[in-house]
Each structure stands twice: as C-alpha cells, then as structure tokens.
Amino acid sequence: MNVVVKSKLAGLILAFAIIFFGLESSYSILLFLIVMLSIGIPHGSVDHIIAFINPKARKFNSKLIFYITYLSLIVFNIALWVISPFLGLLVFLIISCYHFGETQVIGYNPTDNKLLNFVVGANILLSLFLNNIVELQEILYIIPEFANLDLSAFDSVFFLLISVAILMLSIVNFEIKRKVLLYAEITILYMVFFHTDLLTSFALYFGFCHSLPMLMLEFEEFKNDNFIKFYLKTLPFTILSIIFGFLLYQFNNDLLTSDNLILFVFIIISSLTLPHVFIMKDFVKDK
C-alpha cells in the first residue's frame, strides 16, 4: 500500500468516526486549526526546497529569484482580495480547482491531462460548497453577488444529486486508468461534505486527501529515512506563515474592514496556495 493510500485511509477513518459519533460545531474550528497547522501549512512549507529538487522542474536561477517570485504572488493575491473580493475568490477557485484535481488524480491516472485535473478539482470544490452553501454565503458576505443568491427553493438532496451527476459524467467521459477507485473516493468525500459542516469538511478533505498525501510524497522525494527530521524542515516556514498571518490579522481590521476570522483564514489560505500551485505542478509531473 503506497503512502498516498495510507494517508487517505487515515482521513477516511477519522471522517467515519466524526460522522458516526458527531462533532459539536463549536469544535470544528479547533479541528480545522489543528489540521491546518499540523498538516495543511507544513505540506507547502518545503516549496523552497521542492522548487530546486527536481531537475525537470521549473527553474529558478537563484533562491533570491524564487523568494521574490513566491512572495510577490502572495502579495498580489492579498491585494486582489482587498481590491476586489469577487476577483480574489475567482482566482482562488480557478487555481484551487486545478491544484486539488491534479493531486487528487495521483494514483489513479497520470497528472498530464490538465482538463481532467481541473474538472476533478472543480467537482470536489463544487460539492464542498454546494453541500454547505448557506454557511459559505455567511462567510463570504463581502461578495454580495454570491451572498444574496436566493437558494431556498433547493434542498441538500438536490445539491448532492448535482454533484454526483457531474462526477458520473466526468468519470465516463475522461480516459482514466482507475476510474472506479477515483469515483469511490470522491463518493466518500461527498458523504463527508454532506454530513459535516464547512470547516470540518474542508479540514478532512484538505488535510487528509490533499495535504497529508502530498506531505508524504515530499518526504519520499527528500529520501530522508527519518520522518521527524523531514517534518522539522517544514517548521521554519510553517512558523513564519503563522507569524505572517498573525501580523496581517492585526493589520486587517483597517485593511479589510472585516472582523470575520473564517473569511480572514480563507484569504490567507488562498494567498499561500497561489505560489504553491506552481511549485507543485512540476513536483507531481511524474507521480
């Protein structure tokens, strides 16, 4: 059993436990923070090494150019959210659809079919959002075009049906080596998204179907025999990211005129994701 499957199984067991025994919604923010800090951010905290590890990967002439490019993309994304939250969300969705899909198909198909990557990622995000649409509308109140949509005529079964129908059509219309297993995994995700709230759903998906498998693949790529040593390498930039987030939050009340912590975290995640996507695109090429 490879590391990707093992990581996903860990998430599956946790997801089933949460669905069976229920998780008070007041704990979902705690679960979200634990997963983000222990797995989510660390999986992107070795980008500065990953960018130089694969000879076929995008080449940066020096570490300095890498850091300037990487940080510029983060700043650009934050600025985009500040200037136009709608555009910020749009960019986040487009790059996330591609990135999540690309990593999702690892183990089921080569990652070179870009359209497939995008469609799979879009399927997952669509289901995550549709199954928790009311919560999402509350969080994204700064985007009135979205927050004011009246969806009261539709119930959760309808949204799940849309997700499953799109997934089925995607699966049969793309050449995928292991269609059934990909379909089965995404079906489990749909169940998780339906039965848990937005934060728990995102934490379970992002933590165990995306970040942990990637973290384990990075560990393999580093050829370290000790996972602790590898994990320690992720800490400096994880801590820097947290400090960066904290500082931005102090600044945020004036800048974003928003005191919504979840929205703030949403923006931080999207900003960290933008440069990370470009690094991972090369990293997963042969996976």
Partner 1 sequence: MEMLNFIFDAASIAPGDFTGFTFFIGSVSMLAATVWFLMQHGQVDKKFKDSMLVAALITGIAAVHYFYMREQWVLDGSSPTELRYIDWILTVPLMVVEFALLTGVGMRKLFWASVVMLVAGYFGESGVTGMLDAQTWGAVSGLAYFWMAYEVGCLSIFGGPSGAVGNALASGSGKIPEAGRMLQWFVLVGWAIYPIGYMAGTDGWYAFVAIDEGAMNIIYNVGDAINKIGFGMAVWHAARS
CB of 92 to partner 1, least distance (A): 28
CA distances (Å), origin 181, targets 105, 109, 185, 207: 10, 11, 6, 20
Would you count residue 169 as binding partner 1 (CB under 8 A)? yes
Q: Does 98 bind partner 1 (CB under 8 A)?
A: no
Q: Does residue 134 belong to the site contacting partner 1 (CB under 8 A)? A: no
Q: Which is nearer to partner 1, 168 or 232 (CB)?
A: 168
Rounded alpha-carbon distances, angstroms, from residue 7 to 4, 194, 253, 282: 5, 22, 38, 21
CA distance 188 to 163: 12
Asked if 190 interacts with partner 1 (CB under 8 A), we say: yes
Under the criterion CB under 8 A, does residue 142 sit at the interface with partner 1?
A: no
Spatial neighbors of 240 by CB under 8 A, at least 6 apart, are none
CA 30, CA 36: separation in Å to the nearest integer? 10
Contact status: 67 vs partner 1 (CB under 8 A): no
In the numeric block, which tokens belong to residue 238?
A: 């994880």
State in angstroms the smallest separation of the CB of 94 from partner 1.
27
Binding mask 200-239 for partner 1 (x = CB under 8 A): ----------------------------------------
Report angle CA 40, 42, 48 to the nearest 5 degrees: 125
| Residue of the chain from 27, 154, 227, 246 that contacts partner 1 (CB under 8 A) | 154
Number of helices and strands in the chain (H, E) = 14, 0
* 196, burial (CB in 10 Å: exposed 0-12, middle 13-18, buried 19+): buried
Q: Which residues in 4-43 contact partner 1 (CB under 8 A)?
A: 16, 19-21
Listed ranges 56-64, 75-83, 140-148, 174-182: which one lies at the site for partner 1 (CB under 8 A): 174-182
Task: Establish if 76 lies at the interface with partner 1 (CB under 8 A).
Answer: no
Neighbours of 73 (CB within 10 A): 18
**Residue 103 Cβ, how far from partner 1 at the closest point, in Å?**
21
Q: How far is the CB of 41 from partner 1 (least distance, A)?
A: 31
Total residues in contact with partner 1, by rule CB under 8 A: 31
CA 13, 18, 24 angle in degrees (round to 5)? 160
Residues in Cβ contact with 112 at an 8 Å cutoff, skipping those fewer than 6 apart: 285
Contact status: 87 vs partner 1 (CB under 8 A): no
Among 179, 231, 242, 244, binds partner 1 (CB under 8 A): 179
Asked if residue 64 binds partner 1 (CB under 8 A), the reply is no
Write out the residues near partner 1 by the rule CB under 8 A.
Answer: 16, 19-21, 153-158, 160-161, 164-165, 168-169, 171-173, 178-181, 183-184, 187-188, 190-191, 194-195
